[in-house]
Amino acid sequence: MHLAVAFLASALVCTLALDNGLMRTPPMGWLAWERYRCDIDCELDPKNCISENLFMDMADRLSEDGWRELGYVYVNIDDCWASMDRDKQGRLQADPKRFPGGIPKLARYMHDRGLKLGIYGDMGTHTCGGYPGTTLDKIETDAQTFAEWGVDMLKLDGCYSNATEQAEGYPRMSKALNATGRPIGYSCSWPAYQGGLPPKVNYTQLGEICNLWRNYGDIQDSWDSVLSISDWFYKNQDVVGPAAGPGRWNDPDMLIIGDFGLSMDQSRSQMALWAIMAAPLFMSNDLRTISSGARAILQNKMVIGISQDPMGVQGKRLLMKKSGIDVYWRPLSENTSALVFFSRRNDMPYRYQTSLGKLNYTAGTYKVFSVFTEKVATLKDTSDFVVSVNPTGVVLLYVSAPAKHRQFHANAKLHGPAYFRHDDLDNAIPPSFL
């Protein structure tokens, strides 16, 4: 009797969870859409249009310029890859002009380099760009086609379908992908088409059927766009935040660092705010010509470490000060955490003074790393410190686990690193992260 109940319970769990085991930390890689769209003529400019060449070039850069080792492994095709017609068996096929070797050739190219290939589809009659969509009768066929091609991830958009079709189609595609037996990460645009909020959006269900989901509008190459997206997610953090966790992520859309619209400070802001949010990190830029400044931000190991924390808890905004400084916080594994001080000001760097205690940290001594300036300090919860935050910029801090003051002194000779032996933690002049 007990066994039967246990079996039933486990069967139930299996059918309720998207148990593909993928994306236990936010996925990282490259996605064509924001930077390349689809309307540039491949004959005029073969390097800058959606084509086999473009994806192979990006794969070369990811595997040769240190990106892959940092976790950037997905190379994702977006809209406009398909022929306008399905084949005689009703299957999607790639546009032979843009992809003469077909998608399997690209998948092999990625796999040979330790990378993964993502593709784009649309739950509806057409993709947003007007290419063939996946109607309800085509779900299983398309899942099977993608699996046979060796695809590793599917972004399923939602243009040209209604709420009823989406409510049937998104869960069915999840099942169909699982049924292929190939692990395929599943990105759902469903919530973005339903306003991103309950009651129309059911975040519990999304976590069970998708690995990530777009909640909100498309990112564009501008600071305004980054800020408005960030503000939407943090404004709704109590609704969307709890939905995130290992294998299931809110997706505020691509990183536009390395493009045209962001200053270096704004680029650090996007990276920090996305890392606190536990957001997927898909760059949409030209890795062949990216500046060394943008590359350093995207390849910063400590910010990637924060983003990829195994606990997978989405961070939140703690404060919005009248001064125009916001404070964000994300709890990380092993009792560590990250803090972001972000400035909405547009005049000059602002010196913001606070202490870990004021930000609700428990009593103790903390080692604090400033991620982008590489400064280190040791702070008691009661010690005031100053961050100097540039206009539209951030200071990102990684904060160690707390240690009790007394323990440090008791064990100083045996274990204590040099900085913990200082007795001057209550400096008269607060240490500053400049």
Please give the residue ranges that form the binding site for ligand GLA (CB under 6 A): 33, 78-79, 127-129, 157, 189, 218
Which member of 60, 218, 231, 286 is catalytic?
218
User: Measured from the CB atom, is 229 or 397 closer to ligand GLA?
Assistant: 229
45 is catalytic: no
157 is catalytic: yes
What whole-number distance in Å separates Cα of residue 255 and Cα of residue 268? 11
> What is the edge-to-edge ordering of all strands in the sheet holding 116-122?
249-251, 212-214, 185-188, 153-157, 116-122, 74-76, 28-31, 281-283
Q: Cβ 218 to ligand GLA, closest distance in Å?
A: 5
Closest listed residue to residue 175, CA positions, set 19, 11, 23 = 19
148: part of which helix (H) or strand (E)?
A: helix 139-149
Q: Which is nearer to ligand GLA, 166 or 383 (CB)?
A: 166
CA nearest neighbour of 98 among 164, 166, 46, 51: 51
> In this complex, which beta carbon is closest to ligand GLA, that of residue 68 or of residue 214?
214
State the minimum distance, in angstroms, from the CB of residue 159 to ligand GLA: 6
Which lies closer to ligand GLA via its Cβ, residue 76 or residue 336?
76
Q: CB-wise, 78 or 326, nearer to ligand GLA? A: 78
CB 104 within 8 A of CB 150: yes
Cα 348–Cα 352–Cα 357 angle in degrees, nearest 5: 165
Residue 154: CB minimum distance to ligand GLA, A: 12
Nearer to ligand GLA, 82 or 128 (CB): 128
Given the residues 157, 253, 259, 309, select the one marked as catalytic.
Answer: 157
H helix or E strand, kind and range, residue 325: strand 325-331
The Cα-based distances of 156 to 174, 187, 212, 330 in angstroms read 10, 6, 11, 29
The least CB distance from residue 254 to ligand GLA, in Å, is 8
Q: How far is the CB of 280 from ligand GLA (least distance, A)?
A: 12
Strand order in 376-380's β-sheet?
Answer: 316-320, 325-331, 337-343, 394-399, 365-370, 376-380
Q: How far apart are CA 189 and CA 213, in angstroms?
A: 5
CA 392 to each of CA 163, 264, 345, 372, 433: distance values in angstroms, whole numbers, following the listed order: 38, 10, 6, 15, 17
Q: Give the span between the Cα atoms of 281 and 217, in whole angstroms.
A: 16
On whether the CB atoms of residues 426 and 380 are closer than 8 A, the answer is yes
Q: Shortest approach of ligand GLA to residue 161 CB, angstroms? A: 13
Residues taking part in catalysis: 157, 218
